[in-house]
Protein backbone atom coordinates (compact mmCIF):
# COMPACT_ATOMS: atom_id res chain seq x y z
CA UNK A 1 0.00 0.00 0.00
CA UNK A 2 1.35 3.42 -0.91
CA UNK A 3 1.97 5.28 2.38
CA UNK A 4 1.93 8.71 0.79
CA UNK A 5 -1.02 11.01 1.60
CA UNK A 6 -2.74 13.14 -1.03
CA UNK A 7 -0.55 15.95 -2.33
CA UNK A 8 -0.52 19.03 -0.14
CA UNK A 9 -0.19 22.58 -1.43
CA UNK A 10 2.45 24.88 0.03
CA UNK A 11 2.66 28.67 -0.19
CA UNK A 12 6.39 28.71 0.33
CA UNK A 13 8.72 27.22 -2.30
CA UNK A 14 12.41 26.50 -2.41
CA UNK A 15 14.23 26.79 -5.71
CA UNK A 16 16.29 23.70 -6.46
CA UNK A 17 19.13 25.89 -7.69
CA UNK A 18 21.54 25.89 -4.79
CA UNK A 19 22.29 29.56 -5.02
CA UNK A 20 18.67 30.72 -4.94
CA UNK A 21 17.52 29.29 -1.63
CA UNK A 22 18.08 32.45 0.43
CA UNK A 23 15.02 33.71 2.26
CA UNK A 24 13.34 30.36 2.90
CA UNK A 25 11.70 30.06 6.28
CA UNK A 26 9.43 27.04 6.42
CA UNK A 27 5.85 27.82 7.53
CA UNK A 28 5.90 25.39 10.51
CA UNK A 29 8.65 27.39 12.21
CA UNK A 30 6.37 30.27 13.15
CA UNK A 31 5.35 28.57 16.42
CA UNK A 32 8.92 27.72 17.43
CA UNK A 33 9.12 29.87 20.53
CA UNK A 34 5.71 29.06 22.01
CA UNK A 35 5.19 25.34 21.54
CA UNK A 36 8.11 24.14 19.48
CA UNK A 37 8.34 23.89 15.70
CA UNK A 38 6.00 21.58 13.81
CA UNK A 39 8.08 18.67 12.53
CA UNK A 40 7.49 15.36 10.80
CA UNK A 41 7.52 12.58 13.42
CA UNK A 42 7.90 8.87 12.76
CA UNK A 43 5.46 6.06 13.41
CA UNK A 44 6.68 2.62 14.45
CA UNK A 45 7.00 0.30 11.47
CA UNK A 46 4.54 -2.59 11.49
CA UNK A 47 6.77 -5.62 11.24
CA UNK A 48 9.31 -5.63 8.40
CA UNK A 49 7.85 -3.42 5.63
CA UNK A 50 8.56 -3.63 1.92
CA UNK A 51 11.30 -0.99 1.53
CA UNK A 52 10.71 -0.39 -2.19
CA UNK A 53 8.60 2.81 -1.74
CA UNK A 54 11.06 4.28 0.77
CA UNK A 55 14.45 5.90 1.11
CA UNK A 56 16.17 4.33 4.12
CA UNK A 57 18.70 5.86 6.52
CA UNK A 58 20.20 4.95 9.86
CA UNK A 59 18.24 6.08 12.94
CA UNK A 60 20.69 8.30 14.80
CA UNK A 61 20.82 8.40 18.60
CA UNK A 62 21.26 12.16 18.81
CA UNK A 63 19.38 15.40 19.47
CA UNK A 64 16.84 16.66 16.93
CA UNK A 65 17.68 20.19 15.80
CA UNK A 66 16.02 22.59 13.41
CA UNK A 67 17.96 25.35 11.67
CA UNK A 68 15.45 28.09 10.81
CA UNK A 69 17.85 29.94 8.55
CA UNK A 70 18.99 32.15 11.43
CA UNK A 71 18.68 30.12 14.66
CA UNK A 72 19.29 26.54 15.77
CA UNK A 73 16.27 25.25 17.71
CA UNK A 74 15.57 22.14 19.75
CA UNK A 75 12.47 20.07 19.11
CA UNK A 76 10.86 21.96 21.97
CA UNK A 77 11.66 25.34 20.43
CA UNK A 78 14.61 26.30 22.66
CA UNK A 79 17.44 28.22 21.00
CA UNK A 80 20.59 26.06 21.14
CA UNK A 81 23.86 27.77 22.09
CA UNK A 82 26.20 26.53 19.39
CA UNK A 83 29.57 28.22 18.78
CA UNK A 84 29.56 31.11 16.31
CA UNK A 85 31.82 29.20 13.95
CA UNK A 86 29.34 26.34 13.78
CA UNK A 87 26.40 28.67 13.15
CA UNK A 88 28.29 30.53 10.42
CA UNK A 89 28.64 27.23 8.58
CA UNK A 90 24.86 26.79 8.29
CA UNK A 91 23.07 28.29 5.26
CA UNK A 92 21.57 31.71 5.94
CA UNK A 93 17.87 31.86 5.15
CA UNK A 94 17.52 28.13 4.43
CA UNK A 95 15.66 25.84 6.85
CA UNK A 96 17.23 22.45 7.68
CA UNK A 97 15.92 19.61 9.86
CA UNK A 98 18.32 17.02 11.23
CA UNK A 99 20.09 15.40 14.15
CA UNK A 100 23.04 16.65 16.20
CA UNK A 101 25.15 13.55 16.72
CA UNK A 102 28.52 12.62 18.23
CA UNK A 103 28.38 8.98 17.15
CA UNK A 104 26.74 5.69 18.08
CA UNK A 105 26.17 5.16 21.77
CA UNK A 106 27.01 8.78 22.65
CA UNK A 107 23.57 10.24 23.27
CA UNK A 108 24.42 11.42 26.79
CA UNK A 109 27.55 13.23 25.56
CA UNK A 110 25.61 14.79 22.69
CA UNK A 111 22.81 15.92 24.98
CA UNK A 112 25.25 17.41 27.49
CA UNK A 113 27.10 19.34 24.78
CA UNK A 114 23.91 20.70 23.26
CA UNK A 115 22.43 21.79 26.61
CA UNK A 116 25.41 23.89 27.71
CA UNK A 117 24.71 27.61 27.88
CA UNK A 118 28.39 28.21 27.16
CA UNK A 119 29.25 25.85 24.28
CA UNK A 120 32.62 24.12 24.26
CA UNK A 121 34.41 24.35 20.93
CA UNK A 122 36.09 20.89 21.14
CA UNK A 123 32.70 19.21 21.58
CA UNK A 124 31.18 21.08 18.65
CA UNK A 125 34.18 20.45 16.40
CA UNK A 126 33.37 16.75 16.79
CA UNK A 127 29.62 17.33 16.37
CA UNK A 128 27.88 16.15 13.23
CA UNK A 129 24.67 17.80 12.06
CA UNK A 130 23.12 15.06 9.95
CA UNK A 131 20.37 16.76 7.93
CA UNK A 132 17.51 14.69 6.51
CA UNK A 133 14.90 17.24 5.49
CA UNK A 134 14.37 20.64 3.81
CA UNK A 135 11.31 22.04 5.62
CA UNK A 136 8.76 23.61 3.33
CA UNK A 137 10.50 22.66 0.09
CA UNK A 138 8.32 21.48 -2.82
CA UNK A 139 8.45 18.13 -4.57
CA UNK A 140 8.72 14.56 -3.28
CA UNK A 141 11.18 13.51 -0.59
CA UNK A 142 13.49 11.88 -3.14
CA UNK A 143 13.90 15.27 -4.83
CA UNK A 144 14.51 17.05 -1.52
CA UNK A 145 17.10 14.44 -0.54
CA UNK A 146 18.95 14.97 -3.83
CA UNK A 147 18.95 18.72 -3.22
CA UNK A 148 20.34 18.21 0.28
CA UNK A 149 23.20 16.08 -1.03
CA UNK A 150 24.13 18.73 -3.60
CA UNK A 151 24.02 21.46 -0.95
CA UNK A 152 26.06 19.37 1.52
CA UNK A 153 28.88 18.94 -1.00
CA UNK A 154 29.73 22.60 -0.29
CA UNK A 155 29.03 22.52 3.45
CA UNK A 156 31.62 22.58 6.23
CA UNK A 157 29.69 21.88 9.46
CA UNK A 158 26.69 19.83 8.33
CA UNK A 159 26.13 16.66 6.35
CA UNK A 160 23.26 15.20 4.34
CA UNK A 161 22.12 11.99 6.02
CA UNK A 162 22.88 9.11 3.61
CA UNK A 163 19.73 7.62 2.07
CA UNK A 164 19.55 4.15 0.48
CA UNK A 165 17.20 2.34 -1.86
CA UNK A 166 16.74 -1.28 -0.77
CA UNK A 167 15.29 -3.96 -3.02
CA UNK A 168 13.32 -6.10 -0.57
CA UNK A 169 12.60 -6.99 3.05
CA UNK A 170 15.61 -9.32 3.17
CA UNK A 171 17.95 -6.45 2.29
CA UNK A 172 16.22 -4.26 4.89
CA UNK A 173 16.66 -6.92 7.58
CA UNK A 174 20.32 -7.40 6.64
CA UNK A 175 21.08 -3.70 7.01
CA UNK A 176 19.07 -3.43 10.24
CA UNK A 177 21.05 -6.30 11.76
CA UNK A 178 24.35 -4.72 10.66
CA UNK A 179 23.46 -1.31 12.13
CA UNK A 180 22.33 -2.80 15.46
CA UNK A 181 25.42 -5.04 15.66
CA UNK A 182 27.59 -1.93 15.21
CA UNK A 183 25.85 -0.18 18.11
CA UNK A 184 23.21 1.73 16.14
CA UNK A 185 19.54 2.12 17.07
CA UNK A 186 17.78 1.05 13.90
CA UNK A 187 16.58 2.47 10.58
CA UNK A 188 14.30 5.25 9.33
CA UNK A 189 12.10 4.73 6.26
CA UNK A 190 10.85 7.87 4.48
CA UNK A 191 8.38 7.52 1.59
CA UNK A 192 10.29 8.63 -1.50
CA UNK A 193 7.25 10.28 -3.11
CA UNK A 194 6.00 12.07 0.04
CA UNK A 195 5.56 15.86 -0.03
CA UNK A 196 6.83 17.83 2.94
CA UNK A 197 4.35 17.45 5.80
CA UNK A 198 4.44 17.72 9.59
CA UNK A 199 2.95 15.72 12.44
CA UNK A 200 3.21 12.00 13.17
CA UNK A 201 2.61 10.18 9.90
CA UNK A 202 3.20 6.84 8.17
CA UNK A 203 5.29 8.48 5.44
CA UNK A 204 8.11 8.28 8.02
CA UNK A 205 8.60 5.02 9.90
CA UNK A 206 11.19 3.87 12.42
CA UNK A 207 12.34 0.28 12.46
CA UNK A 208 14.03 -0.95 15.64
CA UNK A 209 14.53 -4.30 17.39
CA UNK A 210 12.63 -2.75 20.30
CA UNK A 211 9.89 -0.13 20.38
CA UNK A 212 10.33 3.00 22.47
CA UNK A 213 7.89 5.45 24.02
CA UNK A 214 7.79 8.35 26.47
CA UNK A 215 6.07 8.74 29.83
CA UNK A 216 5.84 11.31 32.64
CA UNK A 217 7.35 10.57 36.06
CA UNK A 218 4.66 10.58 38.76
CA UNK A 219 6.76 9.37 41.67
CA UNK A 220 9.52 7.12 43.02
CA UNK A 221 9.10 3.67 44.56
CA UNK A 222 11.71 2.85 47.26
CA UNK A 223 14.15 0.04 46.59
CA UNK A 224 14.40 -3.15 48.63
CA UNK A 225 17.23 -5.54 49.41
CA UNK A 226 20.29 -4.57 47.39
CA UNK A 227 18.48 -1.41 46.32
CA UNK A 228 17.54 -0.29 49.84
CA UNK A 229 18.04 3.44 50.20
CA UNK A 230 17.79 3.99 46.46
CA UNK A 231 15.02 4.31 43.93
CA UNK A 232 13.54 0.92 43.13
CA UNK A 233 11.14 1.95 40.39
CA UNK A 234 9.59 4.98 38.75
CA UNK A 235 5.84 5.43 38.73
CA UNK A 236 5.01 6.59 35.20
CA UNK A 237 2.01 7.72 33.18
CA UNK A 238 1.92 7.09 29.43
CA UNK A 239 0.51 9.58 26.93
CA UNK A 240 -2.66 7.45 26.93
CA UNK A 241 -3.09 7.90 30.70
CA UNK A 242 -1.98 4.40 31.73
CA UNK A 243 0.10 4.26 34.93
CA UNK A 244 2.77 1.62 35.58
CA UNK A 245 6.00 1.02 37.51
CA UNK A 246 9.32 0.93 35.65
CA UNK A 247 12.07 -0.80 37.61
CA UNK A 248 14.66 -2.06 35.11
CA UNK A 249 17.32 -0.48 32.92
CA UNK A 250 18.76 1.92 35.53
CA UNK A 251 22.40 2.30 36.53
CA UNK A 252 23.29 2.64 40.22
CA UNK A 253 23.98 6.34 39.63
CA UNK A 254 20.53 6.80 38.11
CA UNK A 255 18.92 5.02 41.05
CA UNK A 256 20.79 7.26 43.48
CA UNK A 257 19.65 10.40 41.64
CA UNK A 258 16.46 9.44 39.79
CA UNK A 259 14.58 11.70 37.36
CA UNK A 260 12.45 14.36 39.01
CA UNK A 261 8.69 14.12 39.29
CA UNK A 262 7.30 15.74 36.16
CA UNK A 263 10.27 14.77 34.00
CA UNK A 264 9.67 12.96 30.72
CA UNK A 265 11.57 9.70 30.27
CA UNK A 266 11.94 7.29 27.37
CA UNK A 267 11.67 3.53 27.80
CA UNK A 268 11.87 0.51 25.52
CA UNK A 269 9.17 -2.14 25.36
CA UNK A 270 7.92 -5.13 23.38
CA UNK A 271 4.35 -4.05 22.83
CA UNK A 272 1.44 -3.49 25.20
CA UNK A 273 -0.99 -5.61 27.19
CA UNK A 274 -4.73 -5.28 26.41
CA UNK A 275 -4.85 -2.79 29.31
CA UNK A 276 -2.19 -0.63 27.67
CA UNK A 277 0.66 -1.52 30.03
CA UNK A 278 4.05 -1.82 28.27
CA UNK A 279 5.49 -5.33 28.08
CA UNK A 280 9.11 -5.85 29.23
CA UNK A 281 9.63 -2.12 29.72
CA UNK A 282 13.17 -0.90 30.43
CA UNK A 283 14.44 2.61 31.15
CA UNK A 284 16.25 4.28 28.26
CA UNK A 285 16.92 7.93 29.12
CA UNK A 286 15.57 11.22 30.43
CA UNK A 287 14.22 13.39 27.62
CA UNK A 288 16.07 16.70 27.61
CA UNK A 289 15.18 17.79 24.07
CA UNK A 290 11.50 18.62 24.64
Catalytic residue positions?
A: 59
Compute how many other C-beta atoms are within 10 angstroms of the C-beta atom of residue 9.
Answer: 6
Distant-in-sequence, close-in-space partners of 197: CB < 8 Å, separation ≥ 6: 5, 8, 40, 203
The answer to whether 64 and 99 have CB atoms below 8 angstroms apart is: yes
CA atoms within a 13 Å half-sphere pointing along the CA-CB vector of 119: 19
Sheet with 211-222, edge to edge strand ranges: 243-246, 231-238, 211-222, 264-269, 282-286
DSSP one-letter string for 157-211: S-EEPP-B---SHHHHHHHHHHHHHTT--EEEEEETTPPP--EEEEEEEEE-SSE
Amino acid sequence: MNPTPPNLTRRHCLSLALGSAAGLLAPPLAAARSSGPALLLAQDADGLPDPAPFLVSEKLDGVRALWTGSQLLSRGGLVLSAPDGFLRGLPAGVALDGELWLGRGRFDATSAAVRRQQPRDPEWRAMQYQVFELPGAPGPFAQRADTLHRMASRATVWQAAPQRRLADAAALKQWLDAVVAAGGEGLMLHAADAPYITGRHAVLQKLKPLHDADAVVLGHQPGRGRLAGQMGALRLRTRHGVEFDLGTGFTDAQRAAPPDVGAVVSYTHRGFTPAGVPRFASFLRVRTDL
